Chains A and B, each alone.
Chain A
């Protein structure tokens, strides 16, 4: 079977998707990055291998995205390395070419993408603070001793919600403690947290943008039905959570790889599924050739350097061309 592989390495999760030639999802894997992207990519690939035992998988294109896209691209041998905004937009457009707004909330950052006639026309990202992201919910869930997976259901059960300050994680937390001490129910507090987060997102990330339906909600936080409900309430529109909401970035990367290979047909740079058995080492050094002091990263397989990047002048650059 001819397939395209998409890898999305984010701060919190590492996602892999294998698409067949007709863009059907063959396998999808969602793993926690836990600060070990290389290990998780290998693990993801071995899961894909296991799931498809007995089927010969020919990977004819690889795309990487997410904040770890360059490393992932160098390690796997990617044909295209793309930012996650484009990847998420491409994936959503494939599912619904009329999509106008994408809310994407991941572990460490959140984005809003505005589209018109199938083209991205505006976007925004938060990275200043984590108040409107998955990490914030993770943190509060563990504070309350509730598994993050059940968080949304708690919110849906609430009759009322408690008002919690949403501008800053620290304020939200002290507000939450205060409301707990006052005797509010857990469900109501959780519903309040979801609303606070949505308010925060719409005010900071979505600031000044025209939010028009259809609205897609993707990224890990889309699993949270409480957040979805709050978004519906705040925007007054239906919120669509696509089936593969968790791995939309990886789907986008795979679709981009397919597009690239169709436009510029060639042999994929992919190192093959065997790479799961290889020993990868990364190291870095600071070049002192000029005042730029570039941080150069290199990646070795079984002791042999396969890629090097990070220099501005191209003096050290080595390996395939898709990476900067």
Chain B
């Protein structure tokens, strides 16, 4: 079956491993663009949040390129994400598309049969051993990609030549996508780190450091957040990304090898506890916890990204006002919808960074 995986940051690195190598014909979902947004906005229910709309637009583009099946994650819980895949499937069926939505989520009751069926479609007659091997390698690809993405956040504000860090990352992402074994990944890691070191100006010390928290998709998809990480990097700010695919998948899988991530999840909940003692769906509690942690880690401030109408993040936004006041820790909330004008966004980011710089000066003086 011709299969496609919708875009999310650099998730495409696993396309070959979980699709081509499993004997499926791969349809590359195009990078998110204005066209993706137009399609998504046009066909989604109006009150839905931007991530659903963009992902839907991306699915339409993939189907137009010939995809017969779409792979989508699902979930349970008060955040609408758990029901995205079903809504998107119905919208696409209403539009007359002929395709299959392969939803992967922790099963409940009869859901286990669907999951079993979907796993078998993905397995495509290959041995279980091979499938497990591929999934494990895909996991390694994601881990390396995120490691490099995190590293680039440190390199970018210190780069000798503007754009160098992003270019190095782009090239490495392509290589990770083509890689077939762990040794190659190790080699890519080594080479990329060397290139990063070369591109870095070692004299740039004591930069402003800002945590990026908030809704998962908006924080990880540069098209949606208007390349927020890059913008901050070019303002000379080191971004500390608090969301990751690793931290999202690992607790769901609840496997022994992910023990470390489990601990992180506990720490975040613990940090949020005083302000928000239980989950409000999505990343609501996580956002609160991550801001408290960012303060403990000595960062200068935090930026929360929110898709317009996202309930969990709106809850977090309101609570963050109190957190910010209690801890004397500046936070900025950026709300994203389909607007493309960037001036208002730039103004807020720049003013926020000025604010953080002025605070540092004041602290140095007193």
Chain A residues in the interface with B (C-beta under 8 A): 67, 82-86, 109, 117-123, 125, 127, 208, 290-293, 312-315, 317, 324
Contact = CB atoms under 8 A, between A and B. Distances in A.
Contacts of B347: 67, 83-85, 125
Given A86-B354, A119-B359, A314-B163, A127 B344 contact: yes
A188 B358 CA distance: 44
Main secondary structure of the interface of A (DSSP, over half): loop
A201 to B, nearest CB: 17
Nearest to B324: A122
Contacts of B358: 119-120
Nearest to A118: B362
A274 B194 CA distance: 50
Contact of B354 (A83, A109, A125): A83
A120 B355 contact: yes
Contacts of B162: 313-314, 317
Main secondary structure of the interface of B (DSSP, over half): helix
Contact of B343 (A67, A118, A122, A315): A67
Given A291-B31, A291-B33, A314-B162, A86 B359 contact: no
A84 B347 CA distance: 7
Contacts, number: 65
Nearest to B340: A295
Contact of B351 (A83, A119, A312): A83
A294 B162 CA distance: 16
Given A120-B358, A324-B234, A313 B167 contact: yes
Contacts of B98: none
Contacts of B120: none
Interface in B12-71: 30-31, 33-34
Interface of B: 30-31, 33-34, 161-163, 166-167, 170, 227, 230, 234, 321, 330, 343-344, 346-348, 350-352, 354-355, 358-359, 361-362
A155 B227 CA distance: 46
B163 A313 contact: yes
B159 to A, nearest CB: 10
B354 A120 contact: yes
Contacts of B350: 82-83, 85-86
Contacts of A123: 351-352, 355
Contacts of A324: 234, 346
Given A313-B163, A315-B163, A121 B355 contact: yes
Contacts of B230: 312
A321 to B, nearest CB: 10
Contacts of A125: 344, 347-348
Contacts of B343: 67
B33 to A, nearest CB: 7
27 contacts: A67-B347, A82-B350, A83-B351, A83-B354, A85-B348, A85-B350, A86-B350, A86-B354, A117-B362, A119-B358, A120-B351, A122-B330, A123-B351, A123-B352, A125-B344, A125-B347, A125-B348, A290-B170, A291-B33, A312-B163, A312-B227, A312-B230, A313-B163, A313-B166, A314-B161, A314-B162, A324-B234
Nearest to B352: A123
Contacts of B30: 291
B229 to A, nearest CB: 11
A86 B351 contact: yes
Given A83-B347, A125-B347, A313-B167, 19 more contacts: A67-B343, A83-B346, A85-B348, A85-B350, A85-B351, A86-B354, A109-B344, A119-B359, A120-B351, A120-B354, A120-B355, A120-B358, A121-B355, A122-B330, A123-B352, A125-B344, A312-B163, A317-B162, A324-B234
A142 to B, nearest CB: 26
Given A85-B351, A208-B321, A121 B330 contact: yes
Nearest to A294: B227
Contacts of A85: 347-348, 350-351, 354
Contacts of B330: 121-122
A103 to B, nearest CB: 16
- The 6 A-B residue pairs whose C-beta atoms are closest, nearest first, are A85-B351, A291-B31, A314-B162, A313-B163, A314-B163, A83-B350
Contacts of A312: 163, 166, 227, 230
A320 to B, nearest CB: 14
A118 B355 CA distance: 11
Contacts of A208: 321
Contacts of A82: 350, 354
A120 B355 CA distance: 6
B163 A119 contact: no
Contacts of A120: 351, 354-355, 358
A82 B354 CA distance: 9
| Residue among B358, B361, B362 having the largest count of chain A Cβ atoms under 10 Å | B358
